[in-house]
Amino acid sequence: MTPLAQRQPGHLTLALPKGRIMEEGAALLSAAGLPLTLPRGSRALRHEFPGVTVLELRNQDVPVYVDLGVADAGIVGKDVLIESGRAVYEPVDLGFARCRLSLIREVGARGPVTRVGTKYPHAAREYLLARGLPAEVVKLSGNIELAALTGLADAVIDLVQTGGTLRANHLEELDVLFESSARLIVNRAALKLRRERLRPLIAALRELTSQVAEERA
């Protein structure tokens, strides 16, 4: 991929994560006026449309591609953005993929928290440090709640939305670290170099998401 400054200023490169954000994210970008129709079942990782390229990435890689300027903008969960520590511009809360990052234990668990399993080690360490809890943090990759059920850890820090996973596994939420939703993120240099493409996109997404917020209220 050509570096930011060498790509045509009128062309946008967007980073979208495969998984639960992809479909709604692409639909919002289309509603905001970008000509995207992502193919279903394709193994292609890069999709070309008039004036727009979409890169299909893992969630954690979206802030990296945007911060390093390979993508001009992207969509990612606030949880992943916080964990990445990347100082990208975050102009729009898109209002979907709402969930919260929480401290979770087995119902009725007693004793000190000495080891915590999580996919979010930076956020977890910061949280534990702020509370003076000297627990070890173990980085895991999925089905995080199993760590609390099996004794791998005596608590986990993971996402909660409906609470269905907690109820199905006899777990309880003890504290909320932060709330999350999908965000538009933008490379700061691209905001200047591709101002005439990015400013209208940001404005359209703000307009669309404020409509969504009004409909919800």
Ligand X SMILES: O=P(O)(O)OC[C@H]1O[C@H](OP(=O)(O)OP(=O)(O)O)[C@H](O)[C@@H]1O
180 binds, among ligand X, ligand ATP, none (CB under 5 to 8 A by kind): ligand ATP
Task: Identify which of residues 67 and 145 has a Cβ nearer to ligand X in the complex.
Answer: 145
- Give the x-and-dash track for 24-63 against ligand ATP (CB under 6 A): ----------------------------------xx----
Q: Does 118 bind ligand ATP (CB under 6 A)?
A: no
Q: Does 84 bind ligand ATP (CB under 6 A)?
A: no
| Nearby residues of 200 by Cβ (< 8 Å), 6 or more positions away | 33
- Residue reference for tokens 């930011």: 4
Strands (E), the chain: 12-17, 46-49, 52-57, 73-77, 89-93, 99-106, 115-118, 136-139, 155-160, 171-180, 182-186
- Looking only at residues 115 through 144 of this chain, which bind ligand X when binding is defined by CB under 6 A? 142-144
Q: Provide the minimum distance between the beta carbon of 144 and ligand X in the complex, in angstroms, as a whole number.
A: 6
Q: Does 158 bind ligand X (CB under 6 A)?
A: yes
Rounded to the nearest 10°, the torsion over CA 212, 99, 81, 143 is: -140
Q: Does 81 bind ligand ATP (CB under 6 A)?
A: no
CA distance 217 to 210: 10
